[in-house]
Amino acid sequence: MWQAEHIRDRLSALHPGCTVSILGMTTRGDQILDVTLSKIGGKGLFVKELELALEAGQADLAVHSMKDVPMELPPGFELAVIGEREDPRDAFVSNRYERLSDLPPGGVVGTSSLRREAQLRARYPHLTVKPLRGNVGTRLKKLDEGQFDAILLAAAGLKRLDLGDRIKSLLSVEDSIPAAGQGALGIEIRSDNAEVAAMLGALNHPETAACVRAERQVSRVLGGSCQVPLGAHAVLQDGRLVLNGFVANPDGSDFIHDVATGDASDPEAVGQALADKLLALGARAILDALP
């Protein structure tokens, strides 16, 4: 809802004569909270109901967290905007410890993400990782009730909700490679809605879009979803993309990581190059072994 209100306010400022209203919806991803996303269908659970509203003409646009957007959109839909990225890092939240390295053997860490879990298990095999679902408030409540020693959340979500004070430390993008698109907002529209596309144009952030497009290409090639422990994060350096990514088993074994660089004008090519490197290092065997 914060994201929808943020885009509404941006559009209202850009187009003062236009009325922007919010159609609040609850997706299956919001409703099913007792099972990990990897077991109930993954990222598309946060998008499908919104696409149905677009298709029916109930809504003109849908605002998504880019990390929740499936790699392939259904025919007739497109991403009109990828907005400027917030902090892409993962946040360490705890009431007892300052950083992950402070947790003792057996310390319980909560996360809903196979990507975070795989990296946790690879770097901190002495910790206990348990699933954690629900919205941000629900997750923080479970931490405060003592069900976990620490939890990992996207820093962007906490900051957007004015909960940045709950962050004890931030994991570097090298130590915890983010999900493709993490921290960025995307706006989805019907492909035939040229009028809305034109109104949204000023919200697009070309630098973020290039980075996210490269990240998403890695995930697209490797079948990235909530069922695949995969991360990809790109930055722009002197007009070139530097793309960092990994694939691993959920238990953190067979952790395959590499980096690709290339021209920012062709981000998909950079993503393809990294995906090819990971496949050459053995990613296919990992992917084929996943349930």
| Sheet with 240-247: strands ordered across | 230-237, 240-247, 256-263
Q: Using an 8 Å Cβ cutoff, are 214 and 66 in contact?
A: no
> How do residues 25-72 score in pLDDT, each as one tens digit?
775 545 444 444 444 344 455 688 899 999 999 999 999 999 989 888
- The mean of the pLDDT values for the chain is 91
Q: Spot the catalytic one: 9, 30, 60, 68.
A: 68
User: Catalytic residue at 102?
Assistant: no
Does the pLDDT of residue 172 top 60, yes or no? Answer: yes
Q: Which fold has domain 1-85+183-204?
A: D-Maltodextrin-Binding Protein; domain 2 (3.40.190)
CATH superfamily, domain at 90-171 = Periplasmic binding protein-like II (3.40.190.10)
Q: What's the CATH number for 206-291?
A: 3.30.160.40
Q: Which helix (H) or strand (E) holds 55?
A: helix 48-55
Distances from the Cα of 170 to the Cα of 62, 75, 213, angstroms: 29, 38, 24
What's the full length of the chain, in residues? 291
- Is-same-fold flag (1-85+183-204; 206-291)? no
Mean per-residue pLDDT, 120-137: 93
% of the chain surpassing 90 pLDDT: 80
* Whole-prediction pTM: 0.89
Residues 174, 134 contacting (CB under 8 angstroms): no
Q: Per-domain residue ranges for the chain?
A: 1-85+183-204, 90-171, 206-291
Question: pLDDT category, 208, cuts 50, 70, 90?
Answer: very high
CB atoms within 10 A of CB 210: 21
Instruction: Decide: 176 and 245 in contact? Cβ < 8 Å.
Output: no
